[in-house]
Chains A and B, each alone.
Chain A
């Protein structure tokens, strides 16, 4: 805990220095309606937000939609009734919060979106999902060439539910093909983003196609579910590569330490995303110009790379802000949800 604090202070100094020196009005209260607070990704997003809000002396509150769009609208209404200065929302679904934005507009409450773009939004803080998948795909290609004899038969433990996750899978395949042009996606699964469901569907797919040698998961639960199915089938991990996405919690650190095939993780730094969202909220409150898409950085981590970005003491992880803040995010994504249709 102490360690975390000192890191926070260091990073605070760093970011404050990076900010333009103009005097800013701080919003008093920011409300965040998250998609699914019990998910590790969002917990770490919230951690980043809390850290940054505390630093700036802003009162910060969270409400959880718990994957229920109706509840999300209700929670946002509650916040507006309470009179928050800025609203941050992770849409349960891209289309579902259009009326919410309309309401916020008529209420003069600025809204920052996290994660998913929505028609009529002012600004969104998000990673580039396609790019994230793409660069991990490139790394996977290199690995395949070196260790897997240049073949790449991919089982995608995907989630068609969200455009973001579809983009990751597409990016991964496209990146992979730049190195291994004959790479194919043997199975495109719906793992529900859940470990147990991912395990179940992967087991069937692995049974059908014995030649799979790369497991790609759109989040850590999915890649781990796929890998567990592989292990449960009694297969050796020698000729396998597992690629996860997110770096959401502790699971991937464990896996990279203990599973021989789990070599690549496309880290998305949820803490950083939360941090950036608060900054964006402050800017909106002050009426500053903000880009429509504020990109939060991601990076593929190979092998031991994770230690560069995280400290881990067997029960909690803490982000190394200087390393993460040093990452450069692209101005624009290669592909976005708009390109899917």
Chain B
């Protein structure tokens, strides 16, 4: 660390606000998003319609919500790939409790409690028992997915209670335009983005991911910070799971297959580094939106699944490679 950093000149604070804005990675992502939208608005039918735009935001709410947690765990220097399986699992307590009690509050409470427990287990095994987080969450992914199959006998469980409040989570739109699910996701994004930038705890997460030894010397409880990050991640995946359960009106055992890959891809695309300590939730959100608009636009063009997969794969690799090249150039002077 001592050598690479010696040569680059310190950034000048006097450089204009606008110039600094342009330099930020989020700006590049934002331009990329604008480009994607511009491209499809010319090529894909109906792309720019209010209906389609709000649809995309509603669809993005899942990855966005879970992505917050994923990004926070990444920033703390760990990974959580159990979120896809958790997404499916969480619908079980939710739907079962709602069917039993006719109460949305109890259902959501039960789901959050379940998510909390999973977060505690992931966090404990990683932060306190010291097992590599990739291994822990891979194992947890198997356990949760298998557990759902076991419990449900591979049957989806319908939402028999069909509470209006729950249905509103899926169908409801503010002023008949903006889906509630999108409002929840962006609300959470605002809250957590504020936390990460302006709360001591958020900065602790950055410090722990950036350099755990330094963080410890600065008096932070590194293990507790990481532990908490896993809980946050699980709780946010829980919220995403609740939204999904509402969108599909049931507990789906196959929900969220490969979801973790989508979220990880979007998060990394958004400039959040797997190495920890680098990236922002804004970047993550832009990454999610880029991929979401891309898949919506490709659908709009009538491109089959296989092309969507190929293009998404290429874009992820290209984006990360580009980002890496930029970083190396910056260091090389």
Direct contact of A and B (CB under 8 A): yes
Residues of A within 8 A of B (CB): 37-38, 61-64, 66-70, 73-75, 77-78, 80-83, 92-100, 102-103, 106, 119, 160-161, 163, 190
**Interface digits, B289-305 against A, CB 8 Å rule (1 contact, 0 not)?**
00000001001101011
Partner-contacting stretch, out of B6-14, B126-134, B243-251: B243-251
The reply to whether the CB of B156 lies closer than 8 angstroms to some CB of chain A is yes
Closest residue to A160 on the B side, CB-wise?
A: B154
Given contacts A73-B248, A81-B55, A82-B46, contact A95 B157 (CB under 8 A): yes
Which chain B residues lie closer than 8 Å to A64 at the CB level?
Answer: 304-305
CB atoms of B247 and A70 under 8 A apart: yes
CB atoms of B304 and A70 under 8 A apart: no
The reply to whether the CB of B62 lies closer than 8 angstroms to some CB of chain A is yes
Closest residue to A61 on the B side, CB-wise?
A: B302
Which chain A residues lie closer than 8 Å to B154 at the CB level?
Answer: 160-161, 190
Which chain B residues lie closer than 8 Å to A63 at the CB level?
Answer: 299
- Docked pose: A75 CA to B305 CA in angstroms: 11
Which chain A residues lie closer than 8 Å to B304 at the CB level?
Answer: 37, 62, 64
**Interchain CB contact (< 8 A) of B52 among A69, A78, A95, A161:** A78
Which chain A residues lie closer than 8 Å to B171 at the CB level?
Answer: 99, 102-103, 106
Closest residue to A96 on the B side, CB-wise?
A: B248
The reply to whether the CB of B21 lies closer than 8 angstroms to some CB of chain A is no
The reply to whether the CB of B158 lies closer than 8 angstroms to some CB of chain A is yes
CB atoms of B246 and A95 under 8 A apart: no
Interface residues of B in 135-185 (CB under 8 A from A): 153-159, 167, 170-171
Which chain B residues lie closer than 8 Å to A161 at the CB level?
Answer: 154, 253-254
- Docked pose: A23 CA to B55 CA in angstroms: 37
CB atoms of B305 and A69 under 8 A apart: no
CB atoms of A69 and B254 under 8 A apart: yes
- Docked pose: A75 CA to B46 CA in angstroms: 14
- Docked pose: A94 CA to B252 CA in angstroms: 10
Given contacts A93-B254, A98-B249, contact A77 B46 (CB under 8 A): no
Given contacts A82-B46, A93-B252, A161-B254, contact A38 B306 (CB under 8 A): yes
The count of chain B contact residues (Cβ–Cβ below 8 Å) is 41
The reply to whether the CB of B45 lies closer than 8 angstroms to some CB of chain A is yes
**Interchain CB contact (< 8 A) of A99 among B55, B153, B246:** B246
**Interchain CB contact (< 8 A) of A94 among B52, B55, B156, B159:** B156
Closest residue to B50 on the A side, CB-wise?
A: A81
Counting from the closest, the 9 A-B pairs by CB-CB distance are: A95-B250, A95-B156, A98-B249, A96-B248, A64-B305, A99-B249, A81-B51, A95-B158, A81-B52
Residue of B157, B158, B250, B258 contacting most chain A CB atoms (<10 Å)? B250
**Interchain CB contact (< 8 A) of A77 among B58, B62, B305:** B58
Interface residues of B in 205-260 (CB under 8 A from A): 244, 246-259
- Docked pose: A37 CA to B246 CA in angstroms: 25
CB atoms of A119 and B46 under 8 A apart: no
CB distance from A54 to the nearest CB of B (A): 16
The reply to whether the CB of B59 lies closer than 8 angstroms to some CB of chain A is yes
**Interchain CB contact (< 8 A) of B156 among A68, A82, A93, A99:** A93
Which chain A residues lie closer than 8 Å to B158 at the CB level?
Answer: 95, 98, 119
- Docked pose: A98 CA to B251 CA in angstroms: 12
**Interchain CB contact (< 8 A) of B252 among A62, A95, A100:** A95
CB atoms of B296 and A97 under 8 A apart: no
CB distance from B109 to the nearest CB of A (A): 22
Which chain A residues lie closer than 8 Å to B52 at the CB level?
Answer: 78, 81-82
CB atoms of B257 and A99 under 8 A apart: no
- Docked pose: A63 CA to B44 CA in angstroms: 14
CB atoms of B299 and A95 under 8 A apart: no
Interface residues of B in 250-280 (CB under 8 A from A): 250-259
CB distance from B90 to the nearest CB of A (A): 14
**Interface digits, B35-53 against A, CB 8 Å rule (1 contact, 0 not)?**
0000000000110010110
Closest residue to B179 on the A side, CB-wise?
A: A77
Closest residue to A68 on the B side, CB-wise?
A: B257
- Docked pose: A37 CA to B302 CA in angstroms: 13
